[in-house]
Chain A
């Protein structure tokens, strides 16, 4: 799946697609920076290897094709592990896994791209709204004029709207002014 997203990012190459691809892979595997050609198709019907926080043991080992040295190490792994040196243990780990959990969980700078994209699109939206307010919206109704608004407020006070804790409670009826 990540390889397919690589293909999309490589082929289209626009900021939009790479941001969409980055959004899809947030929280899952860290994207390597290579983008493959179309000929490098992954067989999705076979078990896949994932570097994911919630898949501690992926469906297959990382390295499938082992060199002779690797195979002899795998034979040694079948014996007592106390006889393995530290470097051999690390080599065996790297055969099974691509990244360790700390490597996988490293923070990336992706959030800057995301926030930048958000602000860019908010800005574009603001420009669109501005254009709309000039060229699309009809005239505001006369009831928005200050005199008519004052009349509306006076009518609300006459009707004693919310006289206990709300609107009319703030009006002093004896003095004819706001409290």
Chain B
């Protein structure tokens, strides 16, 4: 009946010392991963789209399709 005395103090500190660096590292890694997997490609996609974008041509295509109420297709 002589067990060693269990650890009574410093339990939260030990847990924090172990888990906080892991938590911070994982959070930063996930933020960096999100930036380079999602936001950078998205910005590039928008840039590429607008590089070759002719707004007048698009407007006329939409007009001919008949979706506007202010300008009807040129045939009418």
Write the residues of chain A forming the contact surface with B, with a CB cutoff of 8 angstroms: 86, 89, 155, 158-160, 163-165, 173
Contacts and interface: CB of A to CB of B under 8 A. Distances in A.
B67 A158 contact: yes
Q: Looking at chain B, what size class is its interface with the partner chain? A: 10 to 19
Given A86-B1, A155-B67, A164 B45 contact: yes
B35 interface: no
A89 B49 CA distance: 81
Nearest to A173: B61
B62 A158 contact: yes
18 contacts: A86-B1, A89-B1, A155-B67, A158-B62, A158-B66, A158-B67, A159-B62, A159-B67, A160-B58, A160-B62, A163-B49, A164-B45, A164-B46, A164-B49, A165-B42, A165-B45, A165-B46, A173-B61
B66 to A, nearest CB: 7
B65 interface: yes
